[in-house]
Amino acid sequence: MLQIKNLHATIDEKEILKGIDLTLEAGKVHAVMGPNGSGKSTLSYVLSGREDYAVTDGEVLLDGKNILAMSPEERAAAGVFLAFQYPIEIPGVQTTTFLKTAVNAVRKARGEPELDPVSFLKKLKSNAEKLGVRDEMLKRPLNVGFSGGEKKRMEILQMAMLEPRVLILDETDSGLDIDALKIVAEGVNALRAPDRTFLVITHYQRLLDYIVPDVVHVLSAGKIVKTGGAELAKQLEETGYAGYIAA
Protein backbone atom coordinates (compact mmCIF):
# COMPACT_ATOMS: atom_id res chain seq x y z
CA MET A 1 0.00 0.00 0.00
CA LEU A 2 2.80 2.40 0.95
CA GLN A 3 6.19 1.78 -0.51
CA ILE A 4 9.26 3.57 0.74
CA LYS A 5 12.14 3.16 -1.66
CA ASN A 6 15.76 4.13 -1.00
CA LEU A 7 14.65 7.14 1.03
CA HIS A 8 17.41 9.60 1.91
CA ALA A 9 16.66 12.72 3.92
CA THR A 10 18.73 15.48 5.48
CA ILE A 11 18.11 18.22 7.99
CA ASP A 12 20.39 21.23 8.03
CA GLU A 13 22.56 19.34 5.59
CA LYS A 14 23.03 16.43 7.94
CA GLU A 15 21.91 13.13 6.48
CA ILE A 16 19.57 11.32 8.86
CA LEU A 17 17.81 8.81 6.63
CA LYS A 18 20.34 6.86 4.62
CA GLY A 19 18.38 4.75 2.21
CA ILE A 20 15.25 3.32 3.77
CA ASP A 21 13.35 0.56 2.04
CA LEU A 22 10.10 -0.35 3.66
CA THR A 23 6.77 -1.62 2.44
CA LEU A 24 3.63 -1.10 4.45
CA GLU A 25 1.04 -3.62 3.47
CA ALA A 26 -2.68 -3.04 3.63
CA GLY A 27 -4.33 -4.50 6.72
CA LYS A 28 -1.03 -5.00 8.53
CA VAL A 29 0.76 -3.51 11.51
CA HIS A 30 4.43 -2.69 11.08
CA ALA A 31 6.49 -1.93 14.15
CA VAL A 32 9.65 0.12 13.92
CA MET A 33 12.07 -0.01 16.80
CA GLY A 34 15.53 1.37 17.15
CA PRO A 35 17.95 3.32 19.33
CA ASN A 36 17.46 6.97 20.23
CA GLY A 37 18.46 9.24 17.41
CA SER A 38 18.34 6.54 14.75
CA GLY A 39 15.85 8.50 12.63
CA LYS A 40 12.44 7.08 13.56
CA SER A 41 10.76 10.44 14.10
CA THR A 42 12.58 11.83 11.08
CA LEU A 43 11.03 9.09 8.97
CA SER A 44 7.56 9.89 10.30
CA TYR A 45 8.02 13.63 9.64
CA VAL A 46 9.31 13.03 6.14
CA LEU A 47 6.33 10.82 5.39
CA SER A 48 3.93 13.52 6.59
CA GLY A 49 5.66 16.32 4.71
CA ARG A 50 7.46 18.44 7.25
CA GLU A 51 9.37 21.09 5.34
CA ASP A 52 12.44 21.24 7.59
CA TYR A 53 13.64 18.03 5.97
CA ALA A 54 15.04 17.72 2.49
CA VAL A 55 14.53 14.47 0.66
CA THR A 56 17.71 13.94 -1.31
CA ASP A 57 16.90 10.61 -2.91
CA GLY A 58 14.28 7.91 -3.15
CA GLU A 59 10.51 7.89 -3.35
CA VAL A 60 7.42 7.17 -1.32
CA LEU A 61 4.52 5.67 -3.20
CA LEU A 62 1.00 5.54 -1.84
CA ASP A 63 -1.07 3.24 -4.04
CA GLY A 64 1.67 3.68 -6.61
CA LYS A 65 1.56 7.49 -6.49
CA ASN A 66 4.56 9.49 -5.28
CA ILE A 67 3.51 11.60 -2.31
CA LEU A 68 6.81 13.40 -1.78
CA ALA A 69 5.79 16.34 -3.94
CA MET A 70 2.56 16.77 -1.98
CA SER A 71 1.97 19.34 0.77
CA PRO A 72 1.27 18.10 4.30
CA GLU A 73 -2.43 18.88 3.90
CA GLU A 74 -2.60 17.01 0.61
CA ARG A 75 -1.01 13.99 2.23
CA ALA A 76 -3.48 14.21 5.09
CA ALA A 77 -6.30 14.24 2.57
CA ALA A 78 -4.71 11.26 0.83
CA GLY A 79 -4.90 9.46 4.15
CA VAL A 80 -1.52 9.88 5.83
CA PHE A 81 -1.77 10.53 9.56
CA LEU A 82 1.04 11.00 12.05
CA ALA A 83 0.40 10.77 15.76
CA PHE A 84 3.25 12.97 16.99
CA GLN A 85 5.84 11.85 19.50
CA TYR A 86 5.56 15.34 20.96
CA PRO A 87 2.11 16.77 20.15
CA ILE A 88 2.09 20.51 19.57
CA GLU A 89 0.15 23.00 21.67
CA ILE A 90 -2.05 25.37 19.70
CA PRO A 91 -2.96 28.25 22.01
CA GLY A 92 -6.16 30.09 21.24
CA VAL A 93 -7.68 27.36 19.08
CA GLN A 94 -10.39 25.39 20.82
CA THR A 95 -9.95 21.63 20.42
CA THR A 96 -13.45 21.12 19.04
CA THR A 97 -13.03 23.93 16.52
CA PHE A 98 -9.71 22.51 15.45
CA LEU A 99 -11.12 19.02 14.99
CA LYS A 100 -14.10 20.28 13.07
CA THR A 101 -11.95 22.36 10.74
CA ALA A 102 -9.60 19.44 10.16
CA VAL A 103 -12.34 16.86 9.61
CA ASN A 104 -14.22 19.04 7.16
CA ALA A 105 -11.06 20.13 5.33
CA VAL A 106 -10.10 16.51 4.82
CA ARG A 107 -13.61 15.49 3.80
CA LYS A 108 -13.78 18.33 1.33
CA ALA A 109 -10.42 17.37 -0.17
CA ARG A 110 -11.61 13.77 -0.44
CA GLY A 111 -14.74 14.88 -2.25
CA GLU A 112 -17.00 13.96 0.65
CA PRO A 113 -19.69 16.27 1.99
CA GLU A 114 -18.81 18.28 5.11
CA LEU A 115 -20.28 16.99 8.34
CA ASP A 116 -23.13 19.06 9.69
CA PRO A 117 -22.55 20.28 13.26
CA VAL A 118 -24.84 17.68 14.81
CA SER A 119 -23.28 14.68 13.08
CA PHE A 120 -19.83 16.03 13.81
CA LEU A 121 -20.54 16.41 17.52
CA LYS A 122 -22.08 12.96 17.67
CA LYS A 123 -19.04 11.41 16.09
CA LEU A 124 -16.70 13.42 18.31
CA LYS A 125 -18.57 12.46 21.46
CA SER A 126 -18.57 8.77 20.73
CA ASN A 127 -14.87 8.70 19.84
CA ALA A 128 -13.91 10.86 22.80
CA GLU A 129 -15.82 8.61 25.13
CA LYS A 130 -14.05 5.51 23.88
CA LEU A 131 -10.66 7.13 24.43
CA GLY A 132 -11.52 8.59 27.81
CA VAL A 133 -11.18 12.18 26.58
CA ARG A 134 -13.27 14.37 28.82
CA ASP A 135 -15.74 16.94 27.45
CA GLU A 136 -13.95 19.65 29.32
CA MET A 137 -10.73 18.93 27.39
CA LEU A 138 -12.53 19.43 24.10
CA LYS A 139 -13.42 22.93 25.14
CA ARG A 140 -9.85 23.89 25.96
CA PRO A 141 -7.29 25.13 23.45
CA LEU A 142 -5.74 22.16 21.67
CA ASN A 143 -3.15 20.40 23.84
CA VAL A 144 -2.51 23.52 25.92
CA GLY A 145 -1.79 22.44 29.46
CA PHE A 146 -2.74 18.84 28.66
CA SER A 147 -0.70 16.24 30.49
CA GLY A 148 1.66 14.07 28.47
CA GLY A 149 -0.81 11.21 28.47
CA GLU A 150 -3.76 13.45 27.63
CA LYS A 151 -1.92 14.75 24.61
CA LYS A 152 -1.33 11.21 23.38
CA ARG A 153 -4.99 10.33 23.73
CA MET A 154 -5.83 13.49 21.82
CA GLU A 155 -3.59 12.30 18.98
CA ILE A 156 -5.51 9.05 18.74
CA LEU A 157 -8.81 10.91 18.96
CA GLN A 158 -7.72 13.00 15.97
CA MET A 159 -6.69 9.84 14.20
CA ALA A 160 -10.09 8.30 14.75
CA MET A 161 -11.87 11.44 13.58
CA LEU A 162 -9.84 11.85 10.39
CA GLU A 163 -10.19 8.23 9.25
CA PRO A 164 -6.76 7.95 7.65
CA ARG A 165 -5.38 5.01 5.67
CA VAL A 166 -1.71 5.21 6.62
CA LEU A 167 -1.51 5.47 10.39
CA ILE A 168 1.87 6.38 11.81
CA LEU A 169 2.22 6.29 15.58
CA ASP A 170 5.42 7.80 16.91
CA GLU A 171 5.97 6.57 20.47
CA THR A 172 2.31 6.92 21.29
CA ASP A 173 2.92 4.71 24.32
CA SER A 174 5.41 7.02 25.99
CA GLY A 175 3.78 9.06 28.71
CA LEU A 176 0.74 6.80 29.00
CA ASP A 177 -0.09 5.10 32.27
CA ILE A 178 -0.90 1.37 32.20
CA ASP A 179 -4.65 1.85 31.97
CA ALA A 180 -4.36 4.57 29.37
CA LEU A 181 -2.07 2.39 27.30
CA LYS A 182 -4.78 -0.22 27.17
CA ILE A 183 -7.47 2.29 26.25
CA VAL A 184 -5.34 3.82 23.53
CA ALA A 185 -4.35 0.42 22.17
CA GLU A 186 -7.99 -0.57 22.01
CA GLY A 187 -8.68 2.67 20.17
CA VAL A 188 -5.97 1.87 17.67
CA ASN A 189 -7.08 -1.74 17.27
CA ALA A 190 -10.61 -0.55 16.58
CA LEU A 191 -9.21 1.30 13.57
CA ARG A 192 -7.58 -1.80 12.13
CA ALA A 193 -9.11 -2.54 8.75
CA PRO A 194 -8.19 -4.32 5.54
CA ASP A 195 -7.59 -1.03 3.71
CA ARG A 196 -5.48 0.54 6.43
CA THR A 197 -1.84 0.15 7.24
CA PHE A 198 -0.01 0.94 10.48
CA LEU A 199 3.52 2.07 11.23
CA VAL A 200 4.02 1.83 14.96
CA ILE A 201 7.20 3.34 16.36
CA THR A 202 7.99 2.26 19.89
CA HIS A 203 10.76 1.39 22.28
CA TYR A 204 8.76 -1.08 24.32
CA GLN A 205 7.35 -4.52 23.92
CA ARG A 206 4.44 -3.60 26.16
CA LEU A 207 2.62 -1.64 23.44
CA LEU A 208 3.17 -4.51 21.02
CA ASP A 209 1.48 -6.87 23.47
CA TYR A 210 -1.69 -4.89 22.82
CA ILE A 211 -1.16 -3.86 19.22
CA VAL A 212 0.31 -7.04 17.86
CA PRO A 213 2.56 -6.35 14.87
CA ASP A 214 2.76 -8.43 11.74
CA VAL A 215 6.28 -7.25 11.02
CA VAL A 216 8.99 -5.71 13.17
CA HIS A 217 11.76 -3.57 11.67
CA VAL A 218 14.86 -2.31 13.39
CA LEU A 219 16.01 1.13 12.32
CA SER A 220 19.56 2.06 13.16
CA ALA A 221 21.59 5.05 11.97
CA GLY A 222 19.07 5.83 9.25
CA LYS A 223 18.74 2.34 7.79
CA ILE A 224 16.55 -0.69 8.31
CA VAL A 225 19.03 -3.23 9.65
CA LYS A 226 16.75 -6.11 10.60
CA THR A 227 13.26 -7.33 9.84
CA GLY A 228 11.39 -10.08 11.60
CA GLY A 229 8.10 -11.15 13.10
CA ALA A 230 6.50 -10.20 16.40
CA GLU A 231 9.07 -12.35 18.22
CA LEU A 232 11.86 -9.96 17.12
CA ALA A 233 10.50 -7.30 19.45
CA LYS A 234 10.55 -9.73 22.37
CA GLN A 235 14.08 -10.73 21.57
CA LEU A 236 15.19 -7.06 21.39
CA GLU A 237 13.72 -6.49 24.83
CA GLU A 238 16.23 -8.99 26.17
CA THR A 239 19.29 -8.32 24.04
CA GLY A 240 18.99 -4.63 23.26
CA TYR A 241 20.29 -3.19 20.02
CA ALA A 242 23.92 -4.16 20.55
CA GLY A 243 23.94 -6.63 17.68
CA TYR A 244 22.18 -4.31 15.24
CA ILE A 245 24.01 -1.02 15.42
CA ALA A 246 24.91 -0.18 11.86
CA ALA A 247 28.47 0.83 11.20
Ligand X SMILES: Nc1ncnc2c1ncn2[C@@H]1O[C@H](COP(=O)(O)OP(=O)(O)OP(=O)(O)O)[C@@H](O)[C@H]1O
Window 72-111: contact mask with ligand X (x via CB under 6 A): -------------x--------------------------
Judged by beta carbon, residue 32 or residue 128, the one nearer ligand X is: 32
| 53-62 vs 2-11, strand pairing mode | antiparallel
Q: Does 75 bind another protein (CB under 8 A)?
A: yes
Strand order in the sheet with 14-24: 14-24, 2-11, 53-62, 65-66
* Signed CA dihedral, 168, 170, 174, 176: sign only: negative
Which of 55, 160, 159, 140 is closest to 97 using CA atoms? 140
Which stretches of the chain are assigned E, i.e. beta strand? 2-11, 14-24, 29-33, 53-62, 65-66, 80-83, 166-170, 197-201, 215-220, 223-228
Q: Does 48 bind another protein (CB under 8 A)?
A: yes
Q: Does 40 bind ligand X (CB under 6 A)?
A: yes
Q: Does 131 bind ligand X (CB under 6 A)?
A: no
Q: Which stretch binds ligand X (CB under 6 A): 36-44, 65-73, 209-217, 239-247?
A: 36-44
In the region spanning residues 111 to 170, those forming contacts with another protein, defined by CB under 8 A, are 141, 158, 162
Q: How far is the CB of 114 from another protein (least distance, A)?
A: 12
Q: How far is the CB of 80 from another protein (least distance, A)?
A: 8
Q: Does 49 bind another protein (CB under 8 A)?
A: yes
